Copies of this chain bind each other. A is one copy, B any other.
């Protein structure tokens, strides 16, 4: 038997794709092993017994994802594709193959590991601090509650090594470069015809998109806002607990109504996916959140940068921490370097391919949104209530405003292009933000704030990893405003917690999709 080979999945592909176009690189995968081997195996173990079993040796070279590939994978992951359906894997692999040899197995393992590890990481982070106790009494929304891992936050904790970790770096992968869509767009451009999204839109989506679909409900742009479906209660409930305890994480999440909505990442992923095999013309589905908040997704190709974005700008509130800038990309020189390099090199290319620039969100007027958000009002707490040490950040509401998601991404990622768009967006929203803050008094404190589209609620959320959906409802997406631009906050696909812990002093905007 064979047991020998350990690589179950891996082997198979290994050979295949690898060669395609990438062989050039010495690196990877395809390598050697699979064909041959089977070997692997072994459980190295010690088991004394029976002696020698071990064996193995299998050479099996392990796949070395290139940065570009990682970016793509990260983008997908951050977009909510925690574990791609089996059918999507080959598709993803194909995409990755453009950058080097990869096997389906590699993709499969990557997602598995990514999910598993991000989960553990977050759990630890959360767990160590408040989480553990949080389990007992989930603070109510906006409550000062969580001081989750006080220590956990990089700031407070003396990090031995510079823990590159997850920490602060905004993963480059998430950012969508602003590069012009022109280049790779040929394919995408091919689909100049914006499909009118309809509930049937999903049918038009590429398989990948379809896959993503599992995690969201599409709403035709036209339909836009189906306020009806909204249920304030759900939103309210969500607010009750914001920081799932380590153990409860799953349960808590699950307790909310099913249905999902697109996060910025998800959108990106989907778009990218579509791009992979279909022209941009693909219909853009609008996600509907069970919670009642809706955002129509529309194909911007034809329309151009129109958009009633869901992101709220916070022009006036500039005083995020001084560290803000550093955290963004400077944590590590290498990191920073890569980010930039990638951005120009790959990221940007990817962005184009992902089609991020071709789509935008259509924010539906959300009666539901208000209802949902409004339910939280009681939760609105005076900032002072939460002590700084708790690490809680303040959440402030602002009038809902619309901004093109594409713009958001553009600004987030590349300072180079689309700056205009960004500013545009920012300006448009500035007022609203201010308004919101003014009312709450949050702004003055300089505390981090999260603006909730369409509401005026203000509350502070625990600094640290936040379960956005639980806290703000299914359709919520957070963005951090730093250095004059918005950075979408990546949410761990598996846990639903923000990949980076919210920082006290930072300004966050909540987008209710």
Which residues in A have some Cβ–Cβ distance to B below 8 Å? 1-5, 7-20, 23, 25-28, 30-39, 41-43, 45-61, 64-68, 70-71, 73-75, 77-78, 86, 89-90, 93, 99-101, 103-105, 117-118, 120-129, 131-135, 148-154, 156-169, 171-174, 245-248, 250-251, 265, 327, 331-332, 334-335, 337-339, 341-342, 345-346, 391, 463-465, 490, 499-501, 503
CB distance from A138 to the nearest CB of B (A): 12
Contact call B245/A151, Cβ cutoff below 8 A: no
Q: Which of A19, A65, A74, A463 has the most CB of B within 10 A?
A: A19
A248 → B minimal CB distance (Å): 6
- Whether A57 pairs with B332 at a CB distance below 8 angstroms is yes
A93 to B18, CA, bound (A): 40
What residue of chain B has the Cβ atom nearest to residue A25's Cβ?
Answer: B49
Are A35 and B124 CB-contacts (below 8 A) given A49-B27, A55-B339? no
Residue pair B31, A157 in contact (C-beta under 8 Å): yes
- Inter-chain contacts of A77 with B (CB < 8 A): 1
Closest chain B residue, CB of each to CB of A154: B32
Residue contacts A-B, CB under 8 angstroms, 19 given = A1-B74, A2-B171, A2-B250, A5-B499, A11-B121, A11-B501, A12-B121, A14-B152, A18-B151, A33-B166, A35-B464, A36-B165, A37-B167, A39-B331, A45-B120, A50-B346, A57-B335, A58-B331, A59-B164
- A251 to chain B minimum Cβ distance, whole angstroms, is 6
Point out which of A2, A25, A28, A48 has the most chain B C-beta atoms below 10 A from its C-beta. A2
CA distance A4 to B332 in the complex (A): 13
A125 contacts across to B, CB distance below 8 A: 11-13, 15-16, 34
> Known: A47-B25, A47-B247, A59-B332. Is A4-B52 also a contact (CB below 8 A)?
no
Q: Which of B70, B133, B160 contacts A26 (CB 8 A)?
A: B160
The answer to whether A8 touches B121, judged by C-beta atoms less than 8 angstroms apart, is yes
Q: With A and B bound together, what is the CA distance between A158 and B32 in angstroms? A: 9
Contact of A464 among B15, B73, B248, B339 (CB under 8 A): B15
Report whether A32 and B501 are in contact in the complex, using a CB–CB cutoff of 8 Å.
no
A49: chain B residues at CB < 8 Å are 25-28, 66, 100, 127, 131-135, 245-247
User: How far apart sit A226 and B57, CA to CA, in the bound complex (Å)?
Assistant: 45
Assess the A4–B173 pair: CB atoms within 8 A.
yes
Closest B residue to A349 by CB, please name it.
B50
> What residue of chain B has the Cβ atom nearest to residue A30's Cβ?
B152
> Can you name 8 extra interface pairs (CB under 8 A) apart from A15-B152, A49-B127, A50-B346?
A1-B251, A14-B152, A32-B163, A39-B169, A43-B65, A46-B120, A50-B132, A55-B332
